[in-house]
Amino acid sequence: MSLHRDMLSRENLNRLDMLQWVSERNHHIPVTELAFMLDITEDTFINDMLLATCAHDDD
């Protein structure tokens, strides 16, 4: 599975970039774990991430 960044909204893309930046500087804590630690758990963010991760897996 891969993440299709072009399917994320601008707001959620910014959130993902921030989470990845924090992850890289903190012993690579998984982005999903960071999202819950930082309380970035809105349904739209979770749904966007799931859709962007699952999209085009048949390709």
In a domain, 24, yes or no: yes
Is residue 59 assigned to a domain? Answer: no
- The domain containing residue 18 runs over which residues? 5-54
| Residue 49 CB burial class (10 angstroms; 0-12, 13-18, ≥19) | buried
**Number of domains making up the chain:** 1
The runs of H, that is alpha helices, within the chain are 10-25, 31-37, 43-54
Of 54 and 56, which is predicted with more confidence?
54
Structure confidence at residue 59 (pLDDT): 45
Contact between residue 48 and residue 9 where contact means Cβ atoms under 8 Å apart: yes
> What residues contact 29, with CB distance under 8 A and at least 6 apart?
22, 23, 37
Q: How confident is the model over 3-49, as pLDDT tens digits?
A: 777 777 888 788 888 888 888 888 878 877 877 777 776 667 777 77
Please state the pTM of the whole predicted model. 0.58
* Residue 25 domain-assigned (yes or no): yes
Bigger pLDDT: 54 vs 55: 54
Residue at 20 is within a domain: yes
